[in-house]
Amino acid sequence: MCPKSLVGKSTTLRMLTTLLPPTSGTATVAGHDVAREPAKVRARIGYVGQKNSAGENFRARDELVVQGRAYGLTTARARERADELLDLLDLGPLAQRKPGTLSGGQRRRLDIALGLIHRPDLLFLDEPSTGLDPQSRADIWTHILRLREAYGTTLFLTTHYLEEADSMAERVVIIDNGRIIADGTAAQLKNDLAGDQITITTTTAQEAEAAARIGGATAEGTTVRLRVANAAAALPEYLRALEAAGVKVATAETARPTLDDVFLTLTGRSLTDDDIPA
């Protein structure tokens, strides 16, 4: 999902998780209306906010047990689950530590453990990897994907990083000005809406003009860019056509489209500087 400018993604997330009542309209989360049955929604979802979820004055395991109790687990069951999650997220040795003594990546893993204590069907993650160094980011993703495999939890996440949405999301919904304009897997959207890109350069502008005519595109100086369905198959064919026409190609390369290309194709605007929930 990619809301652009009008709807703040965190605000959207706060509405879907019952933290904020919607001013108008309705939303159904895990089978229940967020405005009319917030309690039922809360019981079925987990939430990992942007800020750290564990209280500063509390030990990691204590907070996990409290969280389990908050979802109605017995103390014994909450303790079991706490230990299970501490193990699963490699936090075992840190169980008795307070959040202030943990690293950024460790705190984030604790946040995720807190969101999963009651095994929700649906887990909301608000920028789970923001503010982490690349190694911790990769580590968080490894854990998130492992948990998804172990529990089959549906993940709804927002991220600053377009490539994260691209590689992690199984379903991408693009919302522009409050309307859904595309819905599918990242691969589908890219194939259907953007296509691959072929870029060739020639030594002279005249040759570029000729190459653009043959490819059905326009030249920019000595560079020609083509949109095609399958670049790997189309490139040799295009190069043969150019050779037959006597155009000498200096360089040729292919590129897979990004979600930004998809957004650009659909709306004519780029997404680059905005926050991108996926």
Partner 1 sequence: MTTFLRDTATVFTREITPSVREPVGLLFEMGQPLLFLFLFGSLLDRAVGSSWQWFVPGILVMMCLSGPMAAGYTLLVDLIGGSMERMLVTPLNRTAMLVGRTMKTMVVLLCQAVLIIVLALPLGFRPHPAGVLAGLAMLVAFGVGLGALSFVLAIKSAPDGTLFYVVTQVLLFPLLLLSGVLLPMDSGPGWLWVVGRLNPITYIVDAQRALFAGDLTDLSVLYGTAATLLVAALGLVLGNRAMRQGI
Can you tell me which of 22, 35, 52, 274 binds partner 1, judged by CB under 8 A? 52
Check residue 31 for interaction with partner 1 (CB under 8 A).
Answer: no
Sign of CA dihedral 65, 53, 43, 185: negative
Of the candidates 173, 169, 170, 192, which has an alpha carbon nearest to the alpha carbon of residue 182? 173
23 binds partner 1 (CB under 8 A): no
Please say whether the beta carbons of 234 and 198 come within 8 A. Answer: yes
Alpha carbon separation from 123 to 16, 18, 33, 46 (Å, rounded):
11, 13, 17, 5
The residue assigned the tokens 């680059």 is 272
8 binds partner 1 (CB under 8 A): no
Site for partner 1 in 203-232 (CB under 8 A): none
Concatenating the DSSP letter of every residue in 62-103 gives: HHHHHHHHHTT--HHHHHHHHHHHHHHTT-GGGTTS-GGGS-
Does 264 bind partner 1 (CB under 8 A)? Our answer is no
> Whose Cβ is closer to partner 1: residue 124's or residue 238's?
124
Determine which residue in the list 3, 49, 128, 277 makes contact with partner 1, applying CB under 8 A: 49
**How far apart, in whole angstroms, are the C-alpha atoms of residue 13 and residue 155?**
12
Site string for partner 1, 68-97 (x = CB under 8 A): -xxxx-------------------------
For partner 1, the closer of residues 17 and 258 by Cβ is 17
Cα 4 to chain centroid distance, Å, stands at: 14
Kindly tell me which residue out of 4, 9, 42, 137 binds partner 1, with binding defined by CB under 8 A. 42
If one asks whether residue 129 binds partner 1 (CB under 8 A), the answer comes out as no
Site membership for partner 1, residue 27 (CB under 8 A)? no
Least gap, CB of 87 to partner 1 (angstroms): 21
Q: Which residues bind partner 1 (CB under 8 A)?
A: 17-21, 39, 42-43, 45-47, 49-59, 62-63, 66-67, 69-72, 111, 114-115
